[in-house]
Amino acid sequence: MNEPRRVEHQQTDKGYVPVYTTAIVDQPAEYPADDHATWGTLYERQRALLVGRACDEFLQAQDAMGMAPDRIPRFDDLNEVLRATTGWTLVGVEGLLPELEFFDHLANRRFPVTWWIRRPDQIDYIAEPDLFHDLFGHVPLLMNPVFADYMEAYGKGGVKAHGIGPDALQHLTRLYWYTVEFGLINTPDGLRIYGAGIVSSKGESLYSLESDAPNRIGFDLERIMRTRYRIDTFQKTYFVIDSFEQLMNATAPDFTPIYARLDAQDAVPAGDVHVDDRVFHRGTGEGWADGGDV
């Protein structure tokens, strides 16, 4: 039960990682006490850190779903709440899925959740998504009606991009990376985290908001789709949305002509800032890269 079956390796946005069986698997009826303890340790540490750092939608949804530190949540219990709220369903999987399978799940409002949790020696870092990243990081925002629609639209867009070709897919993957995984949101109280890759990481929860090192740039669809990203270290650039509605509206148009246009342009290195980027400073300050309205 501990070691999932590894089928092959694949270069993905998480690096060179194993791709598991694509089948949907049942969550085990029981987890060892150590696994519950790992969940509890991570849950308590991140919740303490995320109050005032993660967006309210995220924190409130975790509470509303009944996620708690005492034990690994049951997918069935979460599904009752999710189904009644936004119609999403969690399905258990062994780990990362091939892209098309993943898109197909999202397009049908199914979110694949890795059934196993990291070992105690992997508390601070694990290269591939586990139950903590998937459940703690991704699932809460599926309770938000607008974000829930965005994820479904992304899945449908993924099926389409897969049919267009590898360049379209790469452009779309960057959008997932800079929103679903590493997105920040501008609120009246200051910048907040909504990306699952950040909220499930202690180091990046602090770094993304409080370090002076990374860029924080206003959401710009084509800018994101051109921007390379780092898989081996904290991000060089975070993109900031003003609202989930903005994200939904900006991604509603047909991407086909956008992909065609992007094919003719060079990728932007992960850490670049351009003169017309809308730059956010640490905390609440906002200005433009050309020294405008800081």
Residue 205 Cβ, how far from Fe ion at the closest point, in Å? 15
Among the listed residues 152, 181, 201, 208, the single catalytic one is: 181
In the residue annotation, 99 being an active-site residue is answered as no
Which residue is nearest to ligand PHE, using beta carbons?
157
Interface pick for ligand PHE out of 103, 111, 147, 154 (rule CB under 6 A): 154
For the CB of residue 222, give the shortest distance to Fe ion in the complex, in Å.
Answer: 23
Residues 253-282 that bind Fe ion (CB under 5 A): none
Q: From 125-133, 153-161, 209-217, 272-280, give the range in contact with ligand PHE by CB under 6 A.
A: 153-161
Q: Taking CB under 6 A as the rule, does residue 255 contact ligand PHE? A: yes
Catalytic-residue membership of 133: yes
**Are the C-beta atoms of 240 and 184 separated by less than 8 Å?**
yes
Task: Return the structure tokens found at 121.
Answer: 């020696």
Q: Which is nearer to ligand PHE, 95 or 157 (CB)?
A: 157
Q: Of 238, 244, 258, which is closest to residue 57 (Cα–Cα)?
A: 244
Catalytic annotation present for 44: no
Stretch that binds ligand PHE, among 30-38, 83-91, 148-156, 222-230 (CB under 6 A): 148-156
Q: Which of ligand PHE, Fe ion, none does residue 174 bind to, with CB < 5 to 8 Å depending on kind?
A: none
**Does residue 243 carry a catalytic annotation?**
no
In contact, 197 and 204? CB cutoff 8 Å: yes
Task: Tell me the CA distances in angstroms from 132 to 1, 111, 156, 265, one per residue in order.
Answer: 17, 14, 26, 37
C-alpha 173/C-alpha 176 separation (Å) is 5
**How many residues line the site for Fe ion (CB under 5 A)?**
2
CA dist., res. 44 & res. 123, Å (int)? 12
Closest approach of ligand PHE to the CB of residue 175, in Å = 6
Pick the piece of the chain touching Fe ion (CB under 5 A) from 96-104, 195-203, 207-215, 256-264: 195-203
Q: Does 251 bind ligand PHE (CB under 6 A)?
A: yes
Q: How far is the CB of 35 from Fe ion (least distance, A)?
A: 20
CB of 204 to ligand PHE, least distance (A): 23
Four-CA torsion 225, 195, 49, 231, nearest 10 degrees: -50
* Nearest distance from C-beta of residue 281 to Fe ion, angstroms: 27
Stretch that binds Fe ion, among 3-11, 78-86, 98-106, 193-201 (CB under 5 A): 193-201
Sheet of 184-187: strands edge to edge?
Answer: 190-193, 184-187, 237-241, 215-218, 278-280, 286-288
Looking at the annotation, which residues are catalytic? 133, 138, 181, 200
Report the interface residues with ligand PHE, using CB under 6 A: 150, 153-154, 157, 160, 175, 251-255
